[in-house]
């Protein structure tokens, strides 16, 4: 017998997230009721994943559950916020129990890891579409914004961008790699790691922050524009993983790192006089971030190699001639 909507919610989503004492009413009432601590600002984000647009049709259900929350967690990380409560609006073509169990498990593991309670949502029938809304908190005035940078700020990125774009290409068989690199890169697309701890620790250090979801270069341009500056990135400084270099070569690895997407790393600017305190407080080798460039007065986003400006398109780069 097919599951009713009520059974589906009870079975897969009632205990999906973390248990939190500040949830007064979670799943089961008309709306969720949460106790917001005094002296905090609420930080709220939502993101939708559509099958065939944001992930390949037939992606593992656990990965879809993980990514739906991860993309929202990453937005909160970029604000320097701590996540607390999530809502899930799920549109599915049919109630397939094995798929739902895997999807909920993928979502639950990440939610519990970051102490996020699933407090409500909506369930509808239609083409597979997953929307998560995530709420979190930050001390008043402490949130990181895109707009706080100024010319001369050093620019840093966490992790090794480009891996996820290669992972997606491998998933879609547009790329091949040997088994170890393939496993690592696929995982980087299917289960991105939102940089929650780093985001929180960057409060007081970073002048501006954005999460890298649409490609490092484009997102650097967004941060710079919001800060009313431009940005310069050194091609040689862009960090790339060893498996990515093995799969596509060093040149293409850096190109993918700049123009790929789905990284969910943090890109942040730091006033020059604050750099040494940050490096001492958050040792880069432990926290996993790299200096890749600087904000500048002239508008635009440029990548420099040995003094030459490189030109990028989605398919790669050509030299500026
Ligand atoms: P209503 O008709 O009042 O919107 P629903 O039947 O849609 O009620 O939802 C019942 C309860 O289940 C609500 O608390 C709602 O937030 C929750 N809910 C519905 N779908 C989901 C879902 N996919 N994930 C988590 N909670 C859900
Ligand atoms: Mg409803």
State the residue for tokens 């007064």.
24
pLDDT of residue 321: 37
Shortest-distance atom of ligand 1 to CA 90: 23
- Counting ligand 1 atoms within 8 A of each CB, the residue from 120, 125, 126, 129 with the most, and so the one to mutate, is 120
Place of tokens 């030109």: 311
- Measured N-to-C along each axis, helices 97-113 and 61-78 cross at an angle, to the nearest 10 degrees, of 30
Residues of the chain with pLDDT under 70: 1, 314-321
**Proximal ligand: closest to the CA of 32:** 1
CA angle centred on 103, ends 164 and 195, rounded to 5°: 40
Token pair belonging to 130: 């997953």
3-class secondary-structure state, position 221: helix
Residue 173 CA to ligand 1 centre (angstroms): 38
118 pocket-lining for ligand 1 (C-beta < 6 Å) = yes
Write down the pLDDT at residue 1.
62
* 26 CA closest ligand 1 atom index: 14
Residue-level pLDDT at 315: 46
pTM over 0.85: yes
> Is the CB of 29 inside a 6 Å radius of any atom of ligand 1?
yes
Distance 123 CA to ligand 2 centre (A): 7
The closest alpha carbon to 134, from 102, 158, 107, 103, belongs to 107
Closest ligand to Cα 130? 1
Atom 27 in ligand 1: residue holding the nearest Cα: 121
Rounded to an integer, what distance in angstroms lies between the CA atom of residue 131 and that of residue 206? Answer: 29
Residue 90 CA: which ligand is closest? 1
- DSSP characters over 67-135: HHHHHHHHHHHHTT-EEEEEEEEEEESS--HHHHHHHHHHHHHHHHHTT-EEEEEEEEESS-EEEEEEE
Measured from the CB, is residue 91 less than 6 Å from ligand 1? no
Domains and CATH numbers, the chain: 5-138 (3.30.1330.10), 154-310 (3.90.650.10)
């Amino acid at each position: 017998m097919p599951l009713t909507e009520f059974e589906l919610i009870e079975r897969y989503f009632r205990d999906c997230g973390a248990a939190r004492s500040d949830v007064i009413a979670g799943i089961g009432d008309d709306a969720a009721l949460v106790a917001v601590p005094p002296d905090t600002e609420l930080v709220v984000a939502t993101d939708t994943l559509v099958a065939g647009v944001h992930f390949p049709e037939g992606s593992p259900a656990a990965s879809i559950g993980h990514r739906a929350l991860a993309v929202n967690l990453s937005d909160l990380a970029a604000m320097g916020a701590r996540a607390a409560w999530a809502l899930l609006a799920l549109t599915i073509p049919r109630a397939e129990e094995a798929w739902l169990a895997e999807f909920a498990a993928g979502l639950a593991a990440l939610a519990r890891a970051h102490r996020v309670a699933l407090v409500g949502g909506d369930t509808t029938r239609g083409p597979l579409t997953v929307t998560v809304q995530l709420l979190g908190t930050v001390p008043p005035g402490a949130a990181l914004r895109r707009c706080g940078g100024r010319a001369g700020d050093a620019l840093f990125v966490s992790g090794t961008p480009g891996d996820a774009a290669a992972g997606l290409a491998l998933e879609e068989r547009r790329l091949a790699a040997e088994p170890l690199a393939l496993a690592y890169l696929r995982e980087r697309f299917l289960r991105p790691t939102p940089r929650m701890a780093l985001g929180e620790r960057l409060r007081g250090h970073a002048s501006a922050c954005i999460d890298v979801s649409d490609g490092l270069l484009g997102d650097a341009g967004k941060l710079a524009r919001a800060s009313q500056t431009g940005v310069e990135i050194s091609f040689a400084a862009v960090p790339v993983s060893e498996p990515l270099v093995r799969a596509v070569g060093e040149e293409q690895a850096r190109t993918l790192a700049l123009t790929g997407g789905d990284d969910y790393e943090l890109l942040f600017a730091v006033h020059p006089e604050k750099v040494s305190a940050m490096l001492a407080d958050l040792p880069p080798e432990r926290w996993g971030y790299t200096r890749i460039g600087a904000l500048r007065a002239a508008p635009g986003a440029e990548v420099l190699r040995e003094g030459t400006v490189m030109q990028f398109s989605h398919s790669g780069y050509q030299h500026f001639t």
